[in-house]
Structures are given as structure tokens and as C-alpha cells.
Amino acid sequence: MTSAGPLSTDLTAAVRQVLPWARSGLERLVRIPSVSADPAAAAHVRSSATEVAALLREAGVPEVDVLAADDGQPAVVGRRPGPPGAPTVLLYAHHDVQPAGAGWDSDPFEPVLRGERLYGRGAADDKAGVAVHLAAVRAHGSELPVGVTVLVEGEEEIGSPTISRFLARYADRVRADVVVLADSENLTVDVPALTTSLRGGANLVVEVRTLRHGVHSGMYGGAVPDALTALCRLLATLHDERGDVAVAGLARGGAAPVDLSEEQLRADSGLLDGVALTGTGSLATDAPAVDAAANMLVPAARAKVSLRGAPGDDAARACAALAAHLETHAPWGARVTVAPARTIAPFSVRTGGAAYRAAHAALAEAWRRPAVDIGVGGSIAFVTAYAQLVPDAEILITGVEDPDTRAHGANEGLHLALFERACLAEALLLRNLAAVR
């Protein structure tokens, strides 16, 4: 499936030649604050889609359209037919990004090079995935060995609410033999990885109410329960004293084993010395800001509870189990309501197929070391939606991130040496997939 002869040498040189253009395109995209969660940024999301379309045309993709399903965010679909009999490969990424948030060392929407990393919101997740696709296609020039369809989604960061309808509407445009998603991570900067499992997800909003209105904490505090205190006690029931999830009915799932020490996990995550590892997820409370808090018993308090379901679990059933736990563990008789949540199903990749082997060969050739299979805690709604639409397609999940990328956080950064290897690996993968029938 691989070749170490002149073809590989030519592709390596071609990728290096297009890298400055691909990076320039990436920087153009990073400067657009395409935050899909912010309604005020809708014009920026449209501008980002327009820019992606322009870059695809520059890369040699002749048929490019900006499309959407109903009221969904704009996606970009490009198509370049391959030689007769060649398979069609769908290259997926997304151009929308998370909100910037606080704590940046530089303007999050102005790409900045510091050391070996290019910093900026979306510099890795996932506008770098777009740039990898651009580089891989352009590196082949007029000799692209497979048919290529590129789908760059515009609402992945908000859970892809219209992706199923989008795929159904444009099924004839996106149907492919193999799918390559450049939206995951590698084990380290120097160890490439294929993602073989994704967790499911849901965000539940739970409200606890104890009072009809707020009252003076000095007059009533003590006997009268405060809603925020009740909410804290309720959320504490989600885990036991060891930090294990204590919600009945949730499944435990496994992932591909990797050689990851506790010391490496602590370093990668930035865990403070002395803080023990637990299995807890993320919680965000709707509580009064510290600086503006009054001496008052709070009548109602809300929290967004993030659930990550194990591979193999049913997302809707897991969400229902979490809601039932919250509704039945309220302290002091507090009234609890749980808002309905939209779920994202977990996904496990079929391994061992011809495209899977082609991907491993390409990654090993680009990195000059074997790739590992990993499970990733994130959720990608597109994967399950596409697998339902085209169940026979082989799905490959690659990525440009590493443990210090800090996706979704402040100072998100792309390691440029890893980026170059990822571009080369995808160019080699397209070559390898030409032999897949």
C-alpha cells in the first residue's frame, strides 16, 4: 500500500511547496471570529464560509458551493471528480469556532507565532483541519488520484443541530467510499494517532427552586434553604467520594489502550500538584457573580451539566438516567426541573479495513514511526449522522491537535511541525486510497 520511491519524494516536496500557502490560508481563517454559538457573529460565520470556498477553489477544487439546511449555519461543499474507477473520498472539517473566552496572551483572532506554535482561536480546532485538506489536495496538482469531496461544516461547535437534515438534503453531493475527518488529536507531537472511538454527549440544564422570591439571609438564613446551596448538594451527588460517577444506569465503555502514564496525563492537562485524579466531568453554574453577590437567600439556581457517554452506550438513555438522578436526589424537598437536551451519540470506528490500513501506512510514513489507535473524549455529531446515511463508507478520524493544543481554552495553538506532518500524511493517504476498491 505504501511506496518509499520517487512518488513519496515528489509528494513530500510538493507538500513543502504548498505549506506557506496553506498556512497563509489558515491565518486568513483565524482572523474571522466565526463563533457559531453567538447569534451576533452570524455575519462572521458567513464570511468564514465564503473564505473557505475561495481557498478550495485556489486549491484546485472546481465545484464549490456554500450551503445550509433550513436555518442552519453555512457549510461549504466542494467536489473534484477523480480518474475513472477511482474511489471518492470525503474530507471533513469545520470552520466554526468556540468563543474566545478570557486568559489569552494575545488577540485570539489575530494569529501569532510564538516558538513552534501558531496561536489563535481555531488555529487548531478546526481551521487547521481545513488547511490540511487544502494542502493535501493542492499538493497533488493535476494528478489527484481519487475523487474528492470536501465538506466544511459551520456548526460543529454547537453540536451540529442540522447536520442530519443537511446530509439528507445533499446526500448526492456527499456520498463517498471513504471519509477522512481532520478534527481529532495525536498522542503526542511526535506520535501520530487514529481515533477509533468518540464519546457521546449532552448538556442538561437543571434548575433547583426553594423560594418564591429572594429573602434577607440574616433574617431567614439557617432554617430556610438557599437554592444555590441545594443545587451544590445536588450536583455533589453525581460523583462518589472517590470521584467516580454515581449515576445509576450509565454504561462504562472501553477505548484502545495507549501507553500513557499518570505523570504524562498530569503534565498534558496542567493538573496542579497535589490534586488527585478523578472521573468528574465539567459543571457550569448559573450563580450570582462574586463581586455582585448580595446577602440574600437565592430562590432558584441553575447549572449546565455536561454528560459524556461511553462508546457503546445509548445517548438518549444515558441522558434520561442523568435527568432521573437529578430529579430524585434533591435535598430538603427542593423542586428540581431538568430541561430537555439534544444528545450526540458515541461512535466506534470499524477498524481493520483497507482504508484503515492505508491510513496507518500514510501516518507511519509521514511521521517515520507507527501510529497508535486512541479513544477521544470529544463528540462529533457528523460521524454518527454520516454513518447512518452511508453505512458502507469507511470512516477515518485523524487530527492536527496534540496534548498541549488547548482547544476550547485560552492560548489555543497549532504545533507547526505536527501540521506539516499531518498535511504530508493526508497527501500520502489520498495516494494510498487510490488502490482501495
Residues assigned a catalytic role = 96, 156
Contacts of 76 (CB under 8 A, 6+ apart): 49, 52, 53, 56, 64, 65, 66, 67, 95, 150, 151, 152, 154
Judge contact between 366 and 428, C-beta under 8 A.
Answer: yes
Report how far apart, in Å, the C-alpha atoms of 414 and of each of 118, 211, 247, 250 are: 5, 49, 37, 35
Look up residue 38 and give its three cell numbers: 453567538
The residue whose grid cell reads 433574617 is: 219
Residue 360: alpha-carbon gap to chain centroid: 21
- The Cα–Cα gap between 359 and 184 comes to 14
CA torsion angle for 398, 400, 403, 407 (degrees, to 10)? -110
Judge contact between 143 and 55, C-beta under 8 A.
Answer: no
**Which residue from 327, 275, 285, 324 is spatially nearest to 306, judged by alpha carbons?**
285
CA torsion angle for 9, 14, 15, 18 (degrees, to 10)? 160
At residue 401, what are phi and psi to the nearest 5 degrees?
-95, 165
- The Cα–Cα gap between 159 and 265 comes to 27
